[in-house]
Amino acid sequence: MTDGLYIHIPFCHQICHYCDFNKVFFENQPVDGYLDALGEELQMMNEEGIFGEGPLTIFIGGGTPTALSVRQLEKLFGSIERSVPKGRLVEFSTEANPDELTPDKLASLKERGVGRLSIGVQSFDEGLLRRLGRTHGPGDAERVIRDARDAGFENLSIDLMYGLPGQTGAQWEDTLDRALALGLPHYSAYSLIVEPKTVFYNLMNKNLLPLPGEDAEADMFRMLMDRMESAGLRQYEISNFSKEGFQSAHNKLYWQNRTYAGAGAGAHGYVNGERYSNHGPLKKYMNAVAEGRRPVFETHRVTAGEEMEEEMFLGLRMIDGVSGAAFRKRFGRDIRDVYGNQISRLENQGLLEEEEGCVRLTEKGVFLGNEVFAQFIG
């Protein structure tokens, strides 16, 4: 039985300049054929007993799920309803683009049980949005929040980005002002990471990507944390802030190192002690399903040592940290028996602390999280 289900929709009407996820341009793609294959994959997973009584969370991501038409969304939801038990479901989320989330799509999502929207806003600066390759404008983001509320959605989140090419502190502050003025219960904010095989990566290699620099990025992160705290939003993970009761249940599964199934081209899963990834290319994915088999490309049996490493470097992303009692219950060993040297060293550096039986990042450690996580790998 898995705790979560991730469903991947790899289609986009526009490819963003920073995105390295598995995606293709929507035009001239076999979208309906893909949705048929996805429905068959979900049915195979159900027949194998992967879902058990049903997942706790369902998350539809991409790509861009809202690139689908209303008819295609209905087709997708029909497949989910036929194959995925919902006896335990506590959260049903989907990603969305502001300029694609029309009132009729909102109505379809609401009617089919989606309760949480994660909307990719990224910035409220028109120029930065164009630089990112986004197709919406600041007004679209504000409009879609109004439309979502009119459709009955309360659990709303937006994604923001900082450390962008040419971005100034003043631009970031203005984006935070406009984002917080929406009064949402959840915000995610990520610093730009330039990934291979992206437009930004190619520009960086040509010295044509003017990034703000580490100090400026750290100042933006500090501004983010201060503004969110002032607005009554608790930082519960390095990049995520929420009001009470609105933390992302699905994303917490990842950070808590719990199980989840992944369906769709390029999707990843963690089931029965194995991490797996599906074929990414649509043709390979669809051919595998047509042959009556799960479209799994590769699997990896997670060793006990790897599982403990993941417990640490994923769990330490959470502001509450890793519970010593939970670690002992899961692995039968004391956390300091396994990682005492690393924890002590990081405590001496002011990057970790232990409080109420939990090992967690200090304020300084939050800024240097990747350096901390690296101490628990390998």
pLDDT digits (tens, 9 = 90+) for 20-36: 787 787 888 999 999 99
Q: Which H, E and C letters describe the chain, residue by residue? A: CCCEEEEEECEECCCCCCCCCCCEECCCCCHHHHHHHHHHHHHHHHHCCCCCCCCCEEEEEECCHHHCCHHHHHHHHHHHHHHCCCCCCCEEEEEECCCCCCHHHHHHHHHCCCCEEEEEEECCCHHHHHHHCCCCCHHHHHHHHHHHHHCCCCEEEEEEEECCCCCCHHHHHHHHHHHHCCCCCEEEEEECCCCCCCHHHHHHHCCCCCCCCHHHHHHHHHHHHHHHHHCCCEEEECCEEECCCCCCHHHHHHHCCCCEEEECCCCEEEECCEEEEECCCHHHHHHHHHCCCCCEEEEEECCHHHHHHHHHHHHCCECCCEEHHHHHHHHCCCHHHHHHHHHHHHHHCCCEEEECCEEEECHHHHHCHHHHHHCCCC
Q: What is the pTM of this model?
A: 0.96
pLDDT of 24: 84
Indicate the range of 19-33, 179-193, 254-268, 332-346 predicted with least confidence.
19-33
Average pLDDT, the chain: 96
The whole-number average pLDDT for the span 134-160 is: 96
pLDDT in tens, 9-20: 999 988 888 887
CATH code linked to domain 4-255:
3.80.30.20
Every domain of the chain and the residues it spans:
4-255, 321-374
